[in-house]
Amino acid sequence: MSQEATVTHQSAFRKLKRRPTMQYFTYSEPFPLESGAVLPGFTLAYETYGTLSPKGDNVVLVPHALTGDSHCASHFPGDEPGWWEGFVGPGLAIDTERYFVICSNVLGGCQGSTGPASIDPRTGKPYGMRFPMITVRDMVRAQRELLRFLGIERLHAVVGGSMGGMQTLEWAVAYPEMVGAIAPIATPGRSSPQSIAFNEVGRQAIMADPNWRGGDYYDGEGPDRGLAIARMVGMITYQSDESMWRKFGRELMHAGIDEIYSFSTQFQVESYLHYQGKKLVERFDANTYLYLTRALDLFDLGRGRGGLKQALSRIRVPTLVVGISSDILYPPYQQKEIVSILRECGVDARYEELDCPYGHDGFLIEATKMTEILKGFFQSIPR
């Protein structure tokens, strides 16, 4: 096991829940990044589900979204639920009785993979803001090295939502010869100004926290308040107006008529946001949030490839693009743009829209509808 996996300094690694199913891959060579910077090496935490077929033709890669990790589903009864519980497992949308599923924590992450909370081997101290900027392309290139280590040269499919969808698209563009099919969900071909704006507000909240200390907070208290506010902003973008009304309405939290004229009195929606902020602080690193949201902002399949259409023209495999009707973070027109371009290029590209009130988070919530969509697609992919 690498040094990355055994670090216990006060940081995101203190918050990491270690699982017996988590494995580690260490790349020990210099790793050039898209920015031109070079990492002296890296570690990726990953988990696998199911059994690899003798021909190695049943591999499904599931990249995670912004605050996800390698634990996309539980492995056994009583195991901690994963972030895509109900979608990955025996008989589910991604059937682990048929497929060998791989899910890794991204490069730049804080759940076992190398990121800003990790120890820089050149200094013996956490990278902090000295960690180089990473992009979705860098994440995918790191995953490619993981697959090389595992002896896997062909992916039956890549399936992911949000930031996981960005990685899914990048896989098909960067390594078209390796990928058999893709299903990007609730994701754009390039980040929009509005999504960048949301992310910047969150980053400013973290950097304005006096405990951030320029990113060098690992020897003491971190910018918990700033990270919690950033998460609150993010959670608003994952909802919709309808879902807010359904969940919370204008209900107050235990306030009498004489108590409502106070800032201490909370609407239920406020209480929800505070709760979500607190939950993220307990398991996530603030610097990692900065780096991964910037990676989201930088995402543009067409950068350096002649534009979005030219980049998408590299995709030659069956593609299912899923949009969510109520998504305000990555609205359906962004997924329809991808499908339109792919069809112009002669690709078997299908569009399905998840009609639900839950906003961007719909792909995590609507298990029954998403299972129907994904199962139909998987059944159509030749082995």
> What does the alpha-carbon distance between residue 62 and residue 70 come to, in Å, rounded to a whole number?
9
Q: Could you give the C-alpha distances from 167 to 38, 41, 57, 106, 275, in angstroms and in order? A: 21, 21, 20, 10, 29
* pLDDT for residue 256 is more than 90: no
Q: Give the pair of three-digit tokens for residue 16.
A: 């990491």
> What does the alpha-carbon distance between residue 36 and residue 51 come to, in Å, rounded to a whole number?
38
Catalytic residue status for 219: no
The answer to whether domain 3-191+300-380 and domain 196-292 are alike in fold is no
Candidates 138, 285, 300, 327; catalytic one: 327
| Alpha-carbon torsion angle 182, 187, 190, 194, nearest 10 | 180
**What angle do helix axes 224-237 and 268-281 make, rounded to 10 degrees?**
120
Tell me the pLDDT tens digit for each residue of 111-127. Answer: 999 999 999 999 999 99
How big, in percent rounded to 5, are the helix, strand and coil portions of the chain?
Answer: 40, 15, 45
- % of the chain exceeding 70 in pLDDT: 95
Q: Could you give the C-alpha distances from 4 to 72, 98, 227, in angstroms and in order? A: 21, 33, 23
Report which secondary-structure segment, H or E, holds 337: helix 332-344
- Write the DSSP symbol of residue 133: P
Position 13 scores a pLDDT of: 54
Tell me the pLDDT tens digit for each residue of 341-377. Answer: 999 999 999 999 999 999 999 999 999 999 999 999 9
Catalytic residue status for 327: yes
Using 50, 70 and 90 to split pLDDT, how confident is the model at 383?
confident
Position 261 scores a pLDDT of: 79
Tell me the pLDDT tens digit for each residue of 266-295. Answer: 899 999 999 999 999 999 999 999 999 999
Candidates 70, 113, 162, 195; catalytic one: 162
Catalytic residue status for 360: yes
> What does the alpha-carbon distance between residue 107 and residue 142 come to, in Å, rounded to a whole number?
7
Check residues 353 and 19 and name the one with the higher pLDDT. 353
Calculate mean pLDDT across residues 229-246: 97
Tell me the pLDDT tens digit for each residue of 173-189. Answer: 999 999 999 999 999 99
Domain spans, the chain:
3-191+300-380, 196-292
SS3 state at 250: coil
> What does the alpha-carbon distance between residue 133 and residue 152 come to, in Å, rounded to a whole number?
28
| Alpha-carbon torsion angle 364, 287, 190, 140, nearest 10 | -80
Domain 3-191+300-380 class in CATH: alpha beta
SS3 state at 323: strand
Calculate mean pLDDT across residues 143-160: 98
Q: What letters, b where the CB count within 10 A reaches 16 and e where it falls short, cover 142-175?
A: bbebbbeebebeebbbbbbbbbbbbbbbbbbbbb
Position 255 scores a pLDDT of: 63
Is 1.10.1740.110 the CATH number for 196-292?
yes
Neighbours of 231 (CB within 10 A): 24
* pLDDT for residue 1 is more than 50: no
